[in-house]
Amino acid sequence: MSLLDSINKDNLPKHLAIIMDGNGRWAKQKGFLRAFGHENGTKSVRKTVEACAKLGVENLTLYAFSTENWNRPKLEVETLMRLLVNSLKGELKTLQENNIKLNSIGNLELLPKSIQTELKDVIEKTKDNSRMTLTLALSYGSREELLNVVKKVSDKVKNNIISIEAIDESIINQHLYTHNLPDVDLLIRTSGEHRISNFLLWQIAYAELFFTDVLWPDFKEEHLYEAIISYQKRERRFGKTSEQIKK
Ligand code: IPE
Ligand code: IPE
Ligand code: MG
């Protein structure tokens, strides 16, 4: 039986998030510049997006560029931005063919104008697609996102739009960049690093975590299936006892 056949289609993560890490090391191991790793990483993105859509994953969120990544050498940041515009231009067809809607989260105003325009264009053109929502986290940092929530909610309190007593989890959710997405069920990180790196801190509160040593440019469908199979073997208790869950 193939890995794909072992997946239970009725128990897929509703929201899968991936920290795509290891492009630089992949290139270095082969004696190439880091940029070559990023280029090859885009191939893994395409494969993963298509595989998730085919499986029936409703929401896929990819960490493509963090607020902290702005501190990388200027040339590397430029390469990443260039790859991003090219991918957006090139992948519109794939998104349409697979009925995928594009979404983005992060401090998008910091991105070069050309990317902002391209992003808006692809988001607009795919807005009626309904099979899967693909969210790109760009210039994204969870602490910045949460700071913005605090500011927006405080402003509403100050202007008597909501009372302090009314602030609950759903109010926080409504003010996050991810307001239209469910909580993350499964978070995958490649490249052997066991950390979250400022990604979706609120949204992963009860996510299952899957770490793999595979470097992102080597990430193939089989690795995705492996992660989902591992997810499906776990008992998600949400604080309850195993007996309560089984009832
Ligand atoms: C992930 O690969 C891509 C981004 C963070 C943009 P890295 O570039 O972090 O690769 P490593 O971790 O240095 O190998
Ligand atoms: C996390 O990877 C960000 C992205 C994958 C976009 P990094 O490579 O930037 O993470 P750290 O700095 O090693 O934690
Ligand atoms: Mg890295």
106 lies in a domain? yes
Provide CB contacts within 8 A for 167, sequence distance 6+: 153, 157
- Domain residue limits at 44: 14-140+184-234
Contact indicator for 107, 67 with CB cutoff of 8 Å = yes
Mutational pocket test of ligand 1: of 25, 111, 188, 216, the residue with most ligand atoms within 8 Å of the beta carbon? 25
Residue-wise pLDDT tens digits, 3-34: 999 999 999 999 999 999 999 999 999 999 99
- Across the strands, what pairs with 19? 63, 189
Per the domain annotation, does 247 fall within a domain? Answer: no
CA nearest ligand 1 atom 13, residue: 24
Other Cβ atoms within 10 Å of 224 Cβ, number: 25
- Give the dihedral sign, CA 139/144/146/149: negative
CA gap 156, 175 in Å, rounded: 11
Ligand 2 in reach of 232 Cβ (< 6 A): no
Establish if 62 belongs to a structural domain: yes
- The structure's pTM equals 0.98
Beta bridge partners of 209: 187
Assign 47 a pLDDT band (cuts: 50, 70, 90): very high
177-191 pLDDT tens trace = 999 999 999 999 999
Give the pLDDT score at 151. 98
CA distance 3 to 148: 42
The total number of structural domains that make up the chain: 1
Report yes or no on 100 lying in a domain: yes
- Ligand 1 site residues, Cβ closer than 6 angstroms: 20-25, 65, 69, 80, 191, 216
- Domain assignment of residue 101, yes or no: yes
- Cα distances from 163 to residues 150, 157, 158, 185, 222, in angstroms, run 14, 6, 9, 31, 49
CATH number of the domain where residue 106 is located: 3.40.1180.10
DSSP 183: P
Could you report the per-residue pLDDT of 113-127, keeping only the tens digit for each? 999 999 999 999 999
